[in-house]
Structure 1
């Protein structure tokens, strides 16, 4: 007798989740060096000391420090914040997941909490929010790719539990200013957690950059997210952290994955902090390349949002996939968002030059 099987089905919320689309690797083309410009990775890699520290780990058979205590101690000294105010996670996304899991979900009556964020922004936001059982409230960015802060304030309801501010905004590029963020926080109820997601903050060159540490010290409902994946060039090791007052962090430790940061990641991150001057040099080189690329795009007739991360945004709309295909022919992998635009990571000068040449000759509408 043949047995019929009923396929297991996930929770309704999980079944409806969008899939995270990671940046794809480049497809080789004859005579061309392939470049991956699709994941906002650092082409310069980590500082030598960080790579050496990672390579020197001989305790793969042992669990890492449960709460990455050595890294938190180093971060506390580097940032001049209390040790207890830092919670590590697997990248800033892991740290964000802890915040959402702790503060937003579904209550005992089955009513979903609400999490507000700009859109388009980091594509993992709706995945994390919906997985927790909460409802995402997406507030469209402005034409120039900036957060509509007034619109976000207007979206606050009695169900709002968390607000996410991505600065610089990924993938569009603009950064918020300190003045507008502080004014924004002043209009948000005290019980709502305001998360300042600063995965790319090292790349910001602004007259009024957000001083997120000053804001977290002043406002008990502010949490800051940072990562070693971008400026520090440690993307493969997945090391991130949040900074918040203990009224928040005491709950984050409950939702943190045990042993989330590996020993390899911890020692590499500490070594990178100890050589932060070299990290700054790498960041400076990337910013200089970004400025060169932006100037060349402007000269070629492209209008792009203010670029404050390690990437630029081309608002190509329906031509996004077509441009990505054209880049692929040139052995360049870029990140296309169908119907919206293309994000391109600032990389090696040769890669940037090839991207610029494509932009000069691209025949599709801009």
Structure 2
């Protein structure tokens, strides 16, 4: 759906503004559409700098992408800054709120995206069944958009992109939603334990609202990834920047904290 939005809105030479670092697919999809990426650095604590993003909008901007919670830093935008941002962006620029990790959000200051969409015709909300619902391989998601925007999106979506099996999986997931939410709540509890534990060890961890945490390690990124791999843990390294660590079962999370402690001791020693 994200690629359909960019393809529907952009032609060669147009601009798409988004934070960086953010979802790895953004620059790929923008490049495939022939448009140009305008990347606005996240703040030191891994958050979207919405003021700078609004300032980056030009007459060539067609789309602004906002990933909240942000992948890979896990931070979420807040309702007050979101409203200021929308007030500063021209109404003819499409603003996409990518909520792939919505089910994990517990920040009371996060905006109600559907309510925002109702008040702002240029806002499109993206959601997916790939994360909390565990249907990543089936690639099922949806957009909430005004009818005139939805018509354009449909013209850019690959025919039969969603299989019958995927539809059945979505229906089954909804039927088991109570169980799903219980698992999500348990993961959120583990997320707090991991985040607090890493901070106690001296790591600067952004306030994550996703199912992962972000460790900004700079030149030590690959070294940390190798230390994790040595004990059977897989983390996602971004060379020269940091690692995204998924919150898993309690045993795996405990092992991660042990790796992080030994790694910290090695650096300080």
Query: Would you call these one fold, judging by a TM-score over 0.5?
Result: yes
Q: Does 1:96 align with 2:2?
A: yes
Match of 2:97 in 1: 196
CA distance in 1, matches of 2:70, 2:227: 25
Q: How does 1:133-148 map to 2 (within 5 A)?
A: 133-148=34-49
Match of 2:267 in 1: 364
Q: Secondary structure at the match of 2:126?
A: strand
TM-score, normalising length: structure 2: 0.97
Match of 1:315 in 2: 216
Q: Does 1:345 align with 2:251?
A: no
TM-superposed deviation, 1:295:
1.4
Q: Secondary structure at the match of 1:364?
A: helix
Q: How does 1:255-294 map to 2 (within 5 A)?
A: 255-294=156-195
Choose the corresponding residue for 1:123, options 24, 32, 35. 24
TM-score, normalising length: structure 1: 0.71
Unpaired segments of 5 or more residues in structure 1?
1-94, 107-111
Higher Cα Rg: structure 1 or 2?
A: 1
Match of 1:217 in 2: 118
> What CA RMSD, in Å, does the superposition of the two structures yield over aligned residues?
1.0
Choose the corresponding residue for 1:251, options 142, 148, 152. 152
CA distance in 1, matches of 2:49, 2:67: 12
Q: How does 1:10-89 map to 2 (within 5 A)?
A: none
TM-superposed deviation, 1:231:
0.7
Match of 1:228 in 2: 129
- Runs of 4+ residues over 3 Å off in structure 1: none
Contact kept, 8 Å, 1:172 with 1:312, in 2: the verdict is yes
Select the structure with the greater relative contact order (CA < 8 A; seq sep ≥ 6): 1
TM-superposed deviation, 1:98:
0.5
Q: Secondary structure at the match of 2:174?
A: helix
CA distance in 1, matches of 2:234, 2:247: 12
Q: Secondary structure at the match of 2:134?
A: coil
CA distance in 1, matches of 2:236, 2:267: 17
CA distance in 2, matches of 1:303, 1:311: 14
Q: Secondary structure at the match of 1:121?
A: coil
**Of 179-188 and 160-169, the range deviating more from structure 2:** 179-188
Q: Does 1:154 align with 2:60?
A: no
TM-superposed deviation, 1:244:
0.6
Q: How many residues align?
A: 266
Q: Secondary structure at the match of 2:16?
A: strand
CA distance in 1, matches of 2:137, 2:252: 21
Contact kept, 8 Å, 1:220 with 1:247, in 2: the verdict is no
CA distance in 2, matches of 1:245, 1:274: 28
Contact kept, 8 Å, 1:290 with 1:311, in 2: the verdict is yes
